[in-house]
Amino acid sequence: MLGFHKRTRSLIPVKDLAKYDKVPLYDEEEMDIGEEEVDMGSVSEPKVKARQMQLTLVYAIFFAEAIMASSLQPQLQMLISSDDYCGNLSTSYLRSILDCAYAFGGTTGIFWGWLSDRIGRRRVTILGLWAMFICCFFQGFATDLASCTIFRFFAGLASSTIVVTTLTMIGDLSENTAARAKNVAKLPLIALCGSIGPILQGIVSGNVNPSGAVWEKFPILSTQIACGSIVLSIAITASIMLQETLPSDQTTEVVDSDCEKAGFLSAADPDHPSIRVVDFVRPDPISINQFIQAPSLLVLLSSFSLLSLHAATFDVLLPHLGQSSSQHGGMGIPCTWLGLMVLIVRGIAGVAILRVIPRAVEKFGLLKLYRNVSLVFPGIYIVTPLLAVVAACSVSLAAIISTLAIFVKHALSGSASVLVALLVLNTTPDAFSAGTVVGMMQVANLFKALAVAVSGASFYLSNDLDMAMTNYALWTCLALFGAVGAALAYFVRERPSVERDFPSEVLCWETCFDAEGTAYDV
């Protein structure tokens, strides 16, 4: 028999790869645990703690990106010299321009995802953190619309590195699909915690009144330094403690006790045959061109883009629709309460997502749940204005109905984002291409930019058209976008397949293994 053998593994359909997740340990009552196995369990405990520490660090990095994303308000307040959350036509145009710049910068996530599969997640993440700190600091020197727009674009470019790598690292650090669902479900609540940035900026600007020519010339410099200090502390911590999650090329010895294989390749001990892996050929990352040719990914990308379009459009139109009278197709919420109400509703929705989504995925399945969530969106956009009109006789009742509608919308949009992230992580068959496909989903930022452009046009048309007609037209557009997105969701598949999505040669890799014991000459 040969003492050394080289074998090319047979192709496995991607839809069956989930069967090869880590097998859960059996209960102690079902198996006898020897002293040796107990010792192995105690050895693996530090690894579990190390994994949890890395996950906590990844969440802190995502928190830093959330601070960057929520740093728009101080720039608006400086440009319009007003604290009005709802704003007017000028506020709408300024918000649209700055949001568009940030969204266009986020499309560079395609490149960062591709790069993270080749040089590693850690390097790209550290680069993004320090770039975000620089953007936070220099945004304080922006005093006009042009400079604010330029810095906002670079802020979106830097934050896209974190959006891509954090989601990819969560996929790398998750032991199985159930743990992955629990880990990803925490992201909406962490994103909400990023709102501490504007709150901290408001506290600083309200309690600290620095004097001097520099502070008078750059009014938001002190608030940007306050947010930048948080990002700086996270960047320093990550530079020291963050570890690489992309599997390395180093050969690791793995013992395989498969009796069928070892019976031919090992003759040392017939009762305890084993095979030792001596070489592992790292598969080449799947290219962007190959992903683009996968129909399942294109359908998922289209569905997520439409979801981002109507969800972002609703968020940008909320200051206008929220304060409009319910008799005119609005939501009847006073402008002074709208900002605080949205913050509280997002917090409750984040907690609900964390509690419900992992259990719902386990019970109903990922694909079925995503389709049902997509189907509810157009119903919300249709029912909300109708119920508001019915309850127009009572201002309090109309406000309660509108608040519930906003809560349901944020709960559904956050849940859909979590489900899409899980579907995206299922698209790639290995960790060496996960960053690329996650980065490709950042194309949805283009549709977010389109959403803010549409909202700006709606504010402009509202001055010439009847308010009720404008509001109902906006609700109709939201319902149409939601209906098309729900229709596309029924063509989404949970996992791609061989030949239809990826060529068979893409999913082929080699492993060299050696049978332990005495080798015979052939």
Partner residues linked to 515 by β-bridges: 275
* Structural domain for 169, as ranges: 51-246+286-504
pLDDT in tens, 9-65: 344 444 454 454 444 444 444 444 444 444 444 446 778 888 899 999 999 999 999
Mean pLDDT of 141-152: 84
For residue 483, the model assigns a pLDDT of: 92
Please give the C-alpha separations between residue 67 and each of 64, 145, 198, 368, 498, in angstroms, as whole numbers: 5, 21, 8, 33, 41
Provide the domain count of the chain: 1
Which of 186, 169, 172, 176 lies closest to 356 in space, CA to CA? 186
46-60, 210-224, 498-512: which range is least confident on average? 498-512
Task: Note whether residue 29 is domain-resident.
Answer: no
Q: What burial letters (b/e) apply to 266-302, b meaning 16+ CB within 10 Å?
A: bbeeeeebbbeebebeebebbebebbeebebbebbbb
**Cα-Cα end-to-end distance for the chain:** 6
Which residue type is seen at 131? A
Tokens of 202: 């408001």
For residue 122, the model assigns a pLDDT of: 94
Average model confidence (pLDDT) across the chain = 76
> Which CATH number goes with the domain that contains 56?
1.20.1250.20
For residue 356, the model assigns a pLDDT of: 93
Are 156 and 105 in contact, with CB atoms under 8 Å apart? yes
Which residue type is seen at 236? I
Which residue type is seen at 36? E
Task: Note whether residue 517 is domain-resident.
Answer: no
What is the reported pTM?
Answer: 0.78
Task: Note whether residue 382 is domain-resident.
Answer: yes
Mean pLDDT of 327-356: 84
Please give the C-alpha separations between residue 106 and each of 137, 161, 291, 347, in angstroms, as whole numbers: 19, 8, 20, 25
Task: Note whether residue 26 is domain-resident.
Answer: no
Which of 107, 496, 164 lies closest to 305 in space, CA to CA? 107
Please give the C-alpha separations between residue 195 and each of 94, 161, 192, in angstroms, as whole numbers: 20, 20, 6
Task: Note whether residue 276 is domain-resident.
Answer: no
For residue 277, the model assigns a pLDDT of: 47
pLDDT in tens, 464-485: 567 778 788 888 888 998 999 8
Task: Evaluate if residue 121 carries a pLDDT over 90.
Answer: yes
Tokens of 142: 């922006």
Determine phi and psi for 8, rounding to 5 degrees: -95, 120
